[in-house]
Amino acid sequence: MAFYVAQFLTGLASAASLFLVASGLSIIFGVTRIVNFAHGAFYMIGAYIAFTLTERLSGAFGFWGGIVLAALAVAMIGIIVEMVLLRRIYHAPELFQLLATFGLTLMVEDLVVLIWGPDDLVGRRAPGFKGAIDFFGQNIPSYDLFLIVLGPVVLGILWLLFQRTRWGVLVRAATQDRDMVAALGVNQKWLFTSVFAVGVFLAALGGALQIPRDAVHHAMDLRIIVEVFVVVVIGGLGSIVGAFVAAVLVSELNAFGILIFPKISIILVFLVMAVVLIVRPWGLFGRPEAAARKTPGLTVNPWRPLTPNERLAALAALVIAATLPLFAGNYALTVGSEIAIFVIFAVSLHFLMSVGGLASFGHAAYFGLGAYGIAFLAKMAGLPMIVCLLLGPLLGCLGAAVFGFFAVQLSGVYFAMLTLAFAQIVWSIAFQWVDVTGGDNGILGLWPSSWAASPPHFYWLALGVAALVTIALRAMVFSPFGYALRATRDSTLRSEAIGIDAKRIRWTAFVIAGTTAGIGGALFAYLKGSVFPDNLGISLSVDALVMVLLGGVETVSGAVIGAIVYKALNIWLISQTDLSKLVLGGFIMLIVVVFPKGIVGMLEMLAQRRKKASPPASPLLAKPIESAE
Amino acid sequence: MRARNVFVGAAFALLAGGMAHSALAQDIKIGEINSYSLLPAFTEPYRKGWQLATEEINAAGGINGKKLVVISKDDGGKPADAQTAANELVSSEGVAMLAGTFLSNIGLAVSDFANQKKVFFLAAEPLTDAITWSKGNKYTFRLRPSNYMQAAMLVEAASKLPAKRWATIAPNYEYGQSAVAVFKKLMSEKRPDIQWVDEQWPPQGKIDAGPVVQAVAAANPEAILNVTFGADLVKLVREGNTRGLFKGREVVSFLTGEPEYLDPLKEETPEGWIVTGYPWYSIKTPEHDAFLKAYQAKYNDYPRLGSIVGYQTIKSAAAILAKAGSTDPEKLIAAAEGLSMPSPFGEITFRKIDHQSTLGAYVGKTALKDGKGVMVDSSYKKGADYLPTDAEVEKLRPKD
């Protein structure tokens, strides 16, 4: 019995650490709607600065003072980031801020190694909380007890702050309806900055408090970021109490789960999130989001098919691309093939995001399923390449049909997080089912048949498929199905009123996007000759999101450019420097500030302005059609 | 769709980048790949090691009079990116061979690439048994003692312990799984009387150490096998110390004696663990003294195990290239098979049967000295003594 109590208390201590970080994320998201990917980075910087301060300052005061000072210092950094970077892009399309914070995270990961060196750092233990307390033969660390008390105390302080101060009232109001708060004359700028600072402070405090039990290193951020997102979503976005309950739930399930299934930790949080979101679409304590007042999609440029001249230009570009094998070497061609494959992957997500308004955080699942489809067909059934290429993507299609059915019941960030949960579940199956998938050692030896083996042939294959896929998806955008899908994106209520079955349309779009991603994955398996669980992983999903956002989410085919720019730059940088993350992160942040509509979005806007400056050629183009509502 | 123009531009840029690199024709180039950005704690000393080796080789007249050039690439910790890098090195840089890699899945991806493209590959660090056995191929050689060899070395010491009730803690991925599997198999062969009472599989890099420690303690084992390393090891040790998990229990631990993983623990270092590692401070052989002196003179820092691996990878590559007298991969394979050469740990041989080198490791006990973790009572275990019989190896390895 004593053991179970001890295990319960241990779980509570883990929950407290998780809650501190999650609460900050929840507050930031609730008010500013920023998906703050850099939250883990702030957590990590908090730990690093606290390490330095607690090593320099002596005594108990030095330790605790160092922890608080570190959190305050990081909060200052947060304020600077908010004012310099995020403030410029609040009006950018939804999720664009994710791109900025992603760039920041990349930079921080390299910066901490440059500043603090590559070694793992182990800080000192907390004065007064070094030992353990004997509980009927079970040792419970006194620092755990400190954390167990701290969690509810922070929850209480936050509750008082939100319920008993004017600032808290404004924050709660903004969480519920920020347009109305703005309309009532509240200075949103400072509200957002202060909320961001409080959130970052909590993240850094959470990181600093890990010093007595963890090692400080440059991968801390990734270790925590996904987990806290999950906790926030399980609890319900913007709900602090929800975050607390979710943290306790997840930590206790883990503490007791490992007694029965020692391998459960790898997937537990995602299983819990999937179940919670299917049963309660807004998390445990969340409420349905208020209907958005702005049209999420197009506001200035109505979409239109390419003009005959533009078609010719696109065709010419394709022909030029197809002549690459005449003068480029094998390496350039293989890179070209990889880029073409990522174009397929990015346009498939772009279709879902910009046409359907459904941002998926787990799109790599379908890419990877396509790749594994190839691996199973080629290795186990021994089918020839052409058959595999036709059938392999069907695994992506199947996955998208099953998971999509559940996912399209939700919307917004909840939709995104459910897709993430499904992707992680698929990933962990690939990772754990060693007998079938080879686990993390993957499936090797999937090389293309001789007709496609040479780099020029494979390049033409990849380029041809990429062109076909892009054309097909474009055609779909301007088909009746595409119009229906855009209708559900722009106004679910109105579209349903005219008889469009929104969920079925969205489900269809999800399956189309998943299958297309599967085609990309199938080609990728043959390009690399092997399949690994990485092909289904979070970082690939994030890459796809970045490509779409970089190209411009409000465009018809921006993802093509986004994929080419991001992938080419990524491959080039990683080949040139070990600090590729630093440079790439900096580049992304620059793009975010200079091109707040993405690269293609910005180019289109410039073209539009030039047309406006000259006498209007077509009155239709100059008129903002869809800015109503 | 105007996109394609940018695409072609990018391709041109890549092409130009590739051309700018092409070194002098008479140089011999080795293409090196490792997870520099993902695992700097290991790869920084590793890089210093191979840079020292390259310098020494060229100072001594290069390879049969030709200068040795190592072109190094980061793989970002991803198999797919490692293959892109391998392709660039082979197709654009025209390297004579590939070398390096740390993670097992990356090692396997590059080895499969080498097999497909018929390029010589010297795997430096990946520990998985698959790379020389179940997924071995004729183009791939491996330097470091494998999972199996390290397990066999530890079993030799562990089987002498009186403990009968054992628990295991290992990261939940291929390395942890196969380390535990081999250890259990060899241990149960030597000691049929022991029981395995609990196993814990925290995700790599994400251990929730408190509950894990508590769960292991609840099974009340007499001895524990640990396979976690890096930040996970730090958390495990700290929780284990506070909760008294290691008190009165024997612990056997993979890799913990390597300075990369032992040094961060400082005064928290648990005493008396049986570990594999690299006690650079207590190795007194002429070969190692020479290496240590050269390393400390160049970098004003002490070597980690990564330094040894990096140094010996390039030294081995040079020895193979020198003997082959050619960069033809078939000749390199013929030269490498059965080739013996000196190393800081004494003479090593690349076995013909499975392309594994006989580089060994040090086994000893952890101790705390002046607030720092050290390895004591350590002795060098030759790799050749801890490999299965040739007949067994033949069964494990697919025919070429």
Within a domain: A591: no
Within a domain: A67: yes
**Cβ of B104 under 8 Å from any chain A Cβ?**
yes
Residues A242 and A391 grouped into a single domain: no
**Cβ of B244 under 8 Å from any chain A Cβ?**
yes
In the predicted structure, residue B9 carries a pLDDT above the cut 70: no
Residues A28 and A118 grouped into a single domain: yes
What's the rounded mean pLDDT across residues A58-79?
93
Name every chain A residue with its beta carbon within 8 A of the beta carbon of B87: 330-331, 334
A535-579 tens-digit pLDDT: 998 889 989 999 998 888 888 888 999 999 999 999 999 888 888
Rounded to two decimals, the ipTM of the complex is 0.87
Within a domain: A150: yes
Residue A560 · residue A464 · CB < 8 Å:
no
- Strands B250-257 vs B223-226: parallel, antiparallel or unpaired: parallel
CB contact under 8 A, B242 and A470: no
> What is the C-alpha separation between B115 and B98, in angstroms, rounded?
11
Residues A395 and A516 grouped into a single domain: yes
Name every chain B residue with its beta carbon within 8 A of the beta carbon of A581: 37
A317-334 tens-digit pLDDT: 999 999 999 988 889 999
Question: At A433, which CATH number?
Answer: 1.10.3470
Residues 51-70 (B) with a CB less than 8 A from some CB of A: none
For the ranges A436-450, A495-509, A603-617, B151-165, which has the lowest average pLDDT? A603-617
Residue A307's pLDDT is: 84
pLDDT grade, residue A588 (50/70/90)? confident
Residues A505 and A568 grouped into a single domain: yes
**Cβ of B30 under 8 Å from any chain A Cβ?**
no
A352-385 tens-digit pLDDT: 998 988 989 999 999 999 999 999 999 888 888 8
Of B78, B202, B214, the CB nearest to A10: B214
Residues A273 and A325 grouped into a single domain: no
CB contact under 8 A, A119 and B199: no
Look at residues A449, A457, A430, A464 and name the one whose alpha carbon lies nearest to residue A382.
A449
CA–chain centroid gap for A540, Å, is 10
CB contact under 8 A, B135 and A441: yes
Cβ-based burial of B159 (10 A; exposed 0-12, middle 13-18, buried ≥19): middle
> What is the C-alpha separation between A180 and A142, in angstroms, rounded?
47
Within a domain: A297: no
The residue to which tokens 């696109």 are assigned? A314
Residues A33 and A182 grouped into a single domain: yes
Within a domain: A581: no
CA distance B201 to chain A (A): 5
Strand order in the sheet with B165-169: B195-200, B165-169, B223-226, B250-257, B274-277, B361-369, B372-381
Residue A541: give the domain boundaries. Answer: 321-572
What's the rounded mean pLDDT across residues A91-107?
84
Task: Single out the residue in A279, A298, A331 at which a domain terminates.
Answer: A279
Look at residues B382, B378, B330, B326 and name the one whose alpha carbon lies nearest to residue B356.
B382
Residue A522 belongs to what H/E stretch?
Answer: helix A502-528
A203-246 tens-digit pLDDT: 999 999 999 988 999 989 988 988 898 899 899 888 899 999 99
CA–chain centroid gap for B66, Å, is 29
Domain count, chain A: 2
In the predicted structure, residue B379 carries a pLDDT above the cut 80: yes
Within a domain: A548: yes
Residue A343's pLDDT is: 96
CA distance A252 to chain B (A): 9
Task: Single out the residue in A262, A279, A296 at which a domain terminates.
Answer: A279
Residues A447 and A380 grouped into a single domain: yes
Return the percent helix, strand and coil in chain B, to nearest 5.
45, 20, 35
Average pLDDT, chain A: 88
Per DSSP, the residues of B79-95 read HHHHHHHHHIIIIIS--
Residues A273 and A338 grouped into a single domain: no
Look at residues A580, A563, A577, A545 and name the one whose alpha carbon lies nearest to residue A102.
A545
Sign, Cα dihedral of A231, A233, A235, A241: positive
Within a domain: A285: no
In the predicted structure, residue A622 carries a pLDDT above the cut 70: no
> What is the C-alpha separation between A273 and A37, in angstroms, rounded?
19
Residues 116-135 (B) with a CB less than 8 A from some CB of A: 116, 128, 130, 135
CA distance A585 to chain B (A): 14
Indicate the pTM of the whole model. Answer: 0.89
In the predicted structure, residue A484 carries a pLDDT above the cut 60: yes
Residue A266's pLDDT is: 83
CB contact under 8 A, B10 and A568: yes
Residue B8's pLDDT is: 44
Sign, Cα dihedral of A482, A486, A488, A489: positive
Residues A249 and A357 grouped into a single domain: no
CA–chain centroid gap for A13, Å, is 28
Residue A457 belongs to what H/E stretch?
Answer: helix A455-477
Q: How far is CA A615 from CA A443, A449, A608, A623, B118, in A?
A: 60, 57, 12, 13, 63
In the predicted structure, residue B21 carries a pLDDT above the cut 50: no
Residue B10's pLDDT is: 45
CB contact under 8 A, B8 and A324: yes
CB contact under 8 A, A254 and B208: yes
The residue to which tokens 């190094």 are assigned? B72
Residues A70 and A141 grouped into a single domain: yes
What's the rounded mean pLDDT across residues B239-263?
94
The residue to which tokens 């695994």 are assigned? A395
Residue B11's pLDDT is: 45
Nearest chain A residue to B269, by CA: A122
Q: Is A294 helix (H, G, I), strand (E, B) or coil?
A: coil
CA distance A597 to chain B (A): 17
What's the rounded mean pLDDT across residues B325-354?
95
Task: Single out the residue in A572, A594, A615 at which a domain terminates.
Answer: A572
Interface test with B, best of A211, A441, A580 (most B CBs within 10 A): A441
Within a domain: A302: no
Residues A81 and A158 grouped into a single domain: yes
Residues A253 and A372 grouped into a single domain: no
**Cβ of B241 under 8 Å from any chain A Cβ?**
no
CA distance A360 to chain B (A): 22
